[in-house]
Amino acid sequence: MANEVLLEKRVDKLEEILAEVIQGLKEMKFRIEEQGEKFDEELRRSREEFERKMEKQRKEFNEALQKSREEQRKELNEALQKSREEFDRKMEEQRKELNKKWGDMARKMGTIVEDIIAPGIEDAIKKKFKEDVIKMMLRVVIKDRETRKRIAEFDIIAETEKRVYVVEVKSKAEAEWIRETKKKVERYKKIYKEEEREVIGVFGSLYIDERIIKYASRKGIYVLGMKGGYLQFLN
């Protein structure tokens, strides 16, 4: 009987202990679940904070990028403007230099006509056409008798008994000057109405390309230039 009572007390004690363990487990589970909810909440808040920071940084980056592009565009426009101004300045300098060279060339033209072509044209004509020059005029200007306006100008007019040589002189030989010489011949014929003498067009320059010589021959214009150190007809 005493043993049964002792066993019953032990069983009751075990039941109490088991009940406490179960209660402890329940409380532990509750705390774990509560902590889990807190963790989830903190994780959500952290994610939202991270996204806000990322959005802020993205906005700041885009603003900085836009500002950088505008600054680069401004710098590029300023550089282009400076380059354009520098280009215009250099072009103006080159234009002035070119005008100066043209002025120098124009002055040198006088020496070509008077110092080279004119002194040698008599011998060149005599050698080519076997006749003597009886009259030669330089820089002939024809004016209208009534208006006194200039109507024609010839670099050299050389006359023989049978022919009149209308000579146009340029520092550089170009096809356009061959055409101009031909026009000068027609102009001379119209003004002086030569009937007894043949009017011959002559283009004179120092150095003349073979291509220009052939072109002049097709146009009926004689070419006068330097060859072997002497002034002579080249076609």
> Tell me: the pLDDT tens digits for 63-118?
888 888 888 888 888 888 888 888 888 887 886 676 456 545 545 555 666 677 88
**Would you state the pLDDT for residue 157?**
94
**Would you state the pLDDT for residue 71?**
84
Report the 10 Å Cβ neighbour count for 133. Answer: 18
Percentage of the chain lying above the pLDDT 70 cut: 82
CA pseudo-torsion sign 46, 50, 56, 57: positive
From the candidate CATH numbers 3.30.1340.30, 3.10.150.10, 3.30.1360.120, 3.40.1350.10, the one assigned to the domain spanning 109-233: 3.40.1350.10
Say yes or no to pLDDT of 36 above 70.
no
Please state whether beta strands 150-159 and 163-169 pair in parallel, antiparallel, or not at all (unpaired): antiparallel
Domain ranges of the chain: 109-233
**Would you state the pLDDT for residue 3?**
58
Say yes or no to pLDDT of 152 above 70.
yes
Contact 225, 234 (CB under 8 A): yes
pTM of this prediction? 0.53
Q: How many residues does the chain have?
A: 235
**Would you state the pLDDT for residue 133?**
94
DSSP string covering 123-141: HHHHHHHS----EEEEEEE
Residue 162: which pLDDT band, with cuts at 50, 70 and 90?
Answer: very high
* Higher per-residue confidence, 131 vs 143: 131
Query: What span, in angstroms and rounded, lies between the C-alpha atoms of 73 and 201?
Result: 62
